[in-house]
Homo-oligomer: A and B are copies of this chain.
């Protein structure tokens, strides 16, 4: 495909962890061209000076964020700006007809009151909450194909919902029993200087944080509730792993009376029949972070434990892949009518 025919993509906040991952993935995408990269910190510098691993790729330099420039030079925008930083720009772009995928949490919650409660501030553009499509690709393909604004799911919600929604849809579990024990690599946090993210603090360590109070909880509950038609609280406990990438999520649920392993397997198979990224593992195999690292894949396995009447579903994703930049590009593919998997099928480098 000649360069002229390629769709022009801008990445905002391109020098952060999810931003630079989007750049890496887009660089290998057959149908797009990276036209603008913004970075507050590195504006004016060549990408290869900051990220030498991209030196072999022809890229525009980092530049400052200007919405009017973006309208002219980009057909679609992936915003990896932090919460609230990009809202105004996103709103302006959407208004002017530029498609946007927002990787931040800004447009994920449908309810502005919940947003206020969760993020501690009025939503700066509540009129767009109804416009935004929640970008959990496997469950919203139809809406995503028409979307002008996609709210890319959080990394934890992605790992959790892929393991829960198929069961909710088939009513195989008691929705009031959901417990989510998630473990994330450090790039789940932004690339910014912080004592608690120093190597010497994270290495050889492991801990939970924000037990029962993490901001991704309402997002998970919203999507479960959307299927059920009513609110259901979940218990969500995130942990910090001494790895760079990856989220392993163990989800514990009480199965409905009569739920069998075949039911559970069928539910996953149906929900993910068309998905090339979700791998339902055979009995006896377990999801592993290494198998999905640097990819958009998700591994899922489950055990229905009879003695304790507990269904344990385990999912593995890369928080920067399916949990951020990978899913953003999957959504971009859907929005632009491309093959959903375009540019996203390279396997993980193992070991």
Contacts and interface: CB of A to CB of B under 8 A. Distances in A.
Interface of A: 17, 20-21, 24, 27-28, 51-57, 176, 178-179, 181, 183, 185-187, 191-195, 197-209, 211-212, 233-235, 237, 239, 241-246, 248, 250, 252, 276, 279, 281, 285-295, 297, 299, 301, 303, 305, 307-308, 310, 312, 314, 316, 320, 345-351
A17 B316 CA distance: 22
A238 to B, nearest CB: 11
A252 B250 contact: no
B203 A243 contact: yes
Contact of A290 (B53, B212, B237): B53
Contacts of A51: 350
Contact of A205 (B250, B289, B314): B289
Given A208-B248, A244-B351, A245-B351, A198 B197 contact: yes
Given A193-B194, A206-B241, A276-B56, A351 B234 contact: no
- Which of A205, A211, A320 has most B Cβ within 10 Å? A205
B244 A248 contact: no
Given A193-B193, A237-B250, A305-B212, A279 B346 contact: no
A326 B191 CA distance: 30
Contacts of A207: 248, 286-289, 316
Contacts of A195: 191-193
A117 to B, nearest CB: 12
Contact of A242 (B191, B242, B276, B308): B242
A49 to B, nearest CB: 8
- Which of A28, A206, A312 has most B Cβ within 10 Å? A206
23 contacts: A24-B349, A52-B281, A52-B288, A53-B290, A53-B291, A53-B347, A54-B347, A56-B279, A181-B250, A186-B200, A186-B203, A199-B203, A199-B244, A203-B203, A206-B243, A206-B288, A208-B250, A212-B310, A233-B307, A235-B305, A237-B250, A294-B349, A346-B346
A24 B244 contact: no
Contacts of A289: 204-207
A158 B24 CA distance: 26
Contact of A20 (B242, B246, B350): B350
A346 B347 CA distance: 12
A289 B240 CA distance: 11
- Which of A52, A197, A203, A320 has most B Cβ within 10 Å? A52
B52 A285 contact: yes
A186 B242 CA distance: 13
A350 B295 CA distance: 12
B347 A56 contact: yes
A350 B55 CA distance: 12
A346 B28 contact: yes
B205 A290 contact: yes
Contacts of A52: 279, 281, 285, 288, 291, 299
Contacts of A176: 308
A17 B351 contact: yes
A349 B293 contact: yes
A191 B200 contact: yes
B308 A233 contact: yes
